[in-house]
With several copies, the nearest count.
Chain A
């Protein structure tokens, strides 16, 4: 875990409200694991918004280029989107546990909703490099307007399927439909599921995994003040029977085996 001041290499809008930020950091690039995140400072010029913002590491390229894929949803991400090449930001990371990689024998299915794609790209990068098994990636978006990074994913060689809610691209429906379809296909070996996206989607994934006794990992987005385990702000309720009443997303997660979480209250 380090705090680094980096100069942006680029920060570009690549979809409706979606931006890709890139900077170089040998330290972060060499230590980061898929599923880990960064706490990004919004700049020295203002104290509002006050807190850093958590973003998954979207991918590592050319050995030292770190990428963040983000949705502009509020004041903080709006400030970020105004940054230009050469602007300086402070980032802390890599933080959190990251995804537990599949065993060589296991097939991975990655399920992403919207910018839930962010950490899955990095995971796909790493898994494809292994070349043990082709990664299956299911992505869902509201409309074709939000669909980004498709060519880059294809270049990785993943087995990609898309849904949009309005049917403007890929299959009409939600991403968990694809998962349903795939899991009803009994022939193959039991896959491990890796999911990131809005809570209702993760809940559906978790339920399916439980029903079919599959291993599944979900990446959660709790509200965070510090990202460092010192504020105890990012609590999520642990499932009944777990040893702790709450887990802390920044320390115990952001990736959890889906069975560890109490989905009733999420």
Chain B
């Protein structure tokens, strides 16, 4: 029998056995989908975005479906970093895949405090910073829309941890490359592109917004072309690895992101539609490489032919 292709990738010092990661907020606290497959088989797991204090989240309705997409305004509901470490992490450490915590704060200091807390904890392999949330000190514009603020958040986290730091960018900017370069300069080991895109929907019968929060984040296949373009741009702008996500539903979608240069990919909304998506992508990439006689996945990454 043929030798299995090598799917392992290196994300800023973090070694993954394959490039398939579950996206924050779409995989619970990491163990909920074990009835469907063993998460140890994934490249890594990113858990629900965590804040210093527990957050109840937004009033319902929190979700609305749009053509090939999902709008959500969960309001970053989470149990808080402390409860996560005490109640969820012990179960997670049994999983033989790196666990990445996704964090967000309302102020730069909150990000720093989260980094300090996580630094002391074993069993967390890396930190992903969500900078798509409103900066309460700066009038509510997202941290990730301004290069200086993005760099400041990144710098504060990097200087308070020895773990690899991934910065997850917001797509809602004029030029994503300026933000990407800013966080790279500030010490990020990798960049995730993209978070959900701002959107809204209206129920014409009730004449109300479909989300109680009015505005939400759009994810799912609808945004795939936009996400792919942003990844393509960021890959060209920075040297650090880029993790691609946005609308990935199967291994062919994953390949699109790898071809434009993503070193790994994340599966988000697809987990809701088919909870086995992530593991099926691992299998799909393995089969694809075998079929195409590709011994190492790195041969595909950035392999887009443009001439």
| Distance, CA A230 to CA B45, complexed state (A) | 13
Q: Which chain B residue lies CB-closest to A236?
A: B60
- Determine whether the beta carbon of B59 is less than 8 Å from that of A265: yes
Knowing A50-B70, A230-B32, the reply to whether A235 touches B273 (Cβ < 8 A) is: no
**B74: which of A90, A224, A229, A233 is its contact (CB, 8 Å)?**
A233
- Determine whether the beta carbon of B273 is less than 8 Å from that of A41: yes
Answer whether residue B251 sits at the interface, using C-beta atoms and an 8 A cutoff: no
- Determine whether the beta carbon of A223 is less than 8 Å from that of B273: no
| Distance, CA A1 to CA B67, complexed state (A) | 29
- Determine whether the beta carbon of A3 is less than 8 Å from that of B64: no
- Determine whether the beta carbon of B74 is less than 8 Å from that of A231: yes
**A51: which of B25, B26, B65, B77 is its contact (CB, 8 Å)?**
B65
Answer whether residue B35 sits at the interface, using C-beta atoms and an 8 A cutoff: yes
| Distance, CA A230 to CA B46, complexed state (A) | 12
- Determine whether the beta carbon of A225 is less than 8 Å from that of B61: no
Knowing A47-B68, A245-B56, the reply to whether A229 touches B26 (Cβ < 8 A) is: no
Chain B residues near A229 (CB, 8 Å)?
A: 28, 32
| Distance, CA A224 to CA B25, complexed state (A) | 15
**B70: which of A92, A222, A225, A237 is its contact (CB, 8 Å)?**
A225
Expressed in whole angstroms, the minimum distance between the Cβ of B78 and any Cβ of chain A is: 9
* Those of A216-238 within 8 Å (CB) of chain B: 222-226, 228-237
Knowing A228-B33, A235-B62, the reply to whether A51 touches B273 (Cβ < 8 A) is: yes
Chain B residues near A51 (CB, 8 Å)?
A: 65, 70, 272-273
Knowing A48-B67, A231-B74, the reply to whether A3 touches B276 (Cβ < 8 A) is: yes
| Distance, CA A2 to CA B34, complexed state (A) | 11
- Determine whether the beta carbon of B272 is less than 8 Å from that of A226: yes
- Number of A-B residue pairs with CB-CB distance less than 8 Å in the complex they form: 96
Q: Which chain B residue lies CB-closest to A265?
A: B59
Knowing A232-B57, A265-B59, the reply to whether A50 touches B65 (Cβ < 8 A) is: yes
Q: B231-274 interface mask toward A, CB cutoff 8 Å, 1 = contact, 0 = none? A: 00000000000000000010000000000000000000101111
Expressed in whole angstroms, the minimum distance between the Cβ of A74 and any Cβ of chain B is: 9
- Determine whether the beta carbon of B65 is less than 8 Å from that of A228: no
Expressed in whole angstroms, the minimum distance between the Cβ of A153 and any Cβ of chain B is: 32
- Determine whether the beta carbon of B27 is less than 8 Å from that of A230: yes
* Those of A1-32 within 8 Å (CB) of chain B: 1-3
Expressed in whole angstroms, the minimum distance between the Cβ of A80 and any Cβ of chain B is: 15
Answer whether residue A52 sits at the interface, using C-beta atoms and an 8 A cutoff: yes
Answer whether residue A246 sits at the interface, using C-beta atoms and an 8 A cutoff: yes
Answer whether residue B69 sits at the interface, using C-beta atoms and an 8 A cutoff: yes
Chain B residues near A50 (CB, 8 Å)?
A: 65, 68-70, 220-221, 269, 273
- Determine whether the beta carbon of B28 is less than 8 Å from that of A230: yes
Chain B residues near A41 (CB, 8 Å)?
A: 273-274
Chain A residues near B58 (CB, 8 Å)?
A: 235
| Distance, CA A31 to CA B60, complexed state (A) | 31
SS class, residues of chain A in contact with chain B: loop
**B272: which of A1, A47, A225 is its contact (CB, 8 Å)?**
A225
Expressed in whole angstroms, the minimum distance between the Cβ of A169 and any Cβ of chain B is: 27
- Determine whether the beta carbon of A48 is less than 8 Å from that of B56: no
Q: Which chain B residue lies CB-closest to A92?
A: B275
Answer whether residue B72 sits at the interface, using C-beta atoms and an 8 A cutoff: yes
| Distance, CA A251 to CA B271, complexed state (A) | 17
**B68: which of A3, A48, A232, A245 is its contact (CB, 8 Å)?**
A48
Answer whether residue B89 sits at the interface, using C-beta atoms and an 8 A cutoff: no
Chain A residues near B62 (CB, 8 Å)?
A: 223, 232-235
**A47: which of B74, B221, B275 is its contact (CB, 8 Å)?**
B221
| Distance, CA A41 to CA B270, complexed state (A) | 12
Q: Which chain B residue lies CB-closest to A238?
A: B56
* Those of B33-64 within 8 Å (CB) of chain A: 33, 35-36, 48, 56-64
- Determine whether the beta carbon of B63 is less than 8 Å from that of A225: yes
* Those of A226-266 within 8 Å (CB) of chain B: 226, 228-237, 245-246, 265
- The 3 A-B residue pairs with the shortest CB-CB distance, nearest first, are A233-B63, A230-B28, A245-B56
Q: A225-B269, A232-B74, A236-B60 are in contact. List 7 more A-B contacts (CB 8 A).
A: A41-B273, A230-B32, A230-B33, A232-B48, A235-B58, A235-B59, A237-B60
Residues of A within 8 A of B (CB): 1-3, 41, 47-52, 90, 92, 222-226, 228-237, 245-246, 265
Q: What are 10 A-B pairs at a CB distance below 8 A?
A: A48-B221, A49-B65, A50-B65, A52-B273, A223-B63, A228-B275, A230-B27, A231-B72, A232-B48, A245-B57
Residues of B within 8 A of A (CB): 25-28, 32-33, 35-36, 48, 56-65, 67-70, 72, 74, 77, 220-221, 249, 269, 271-276
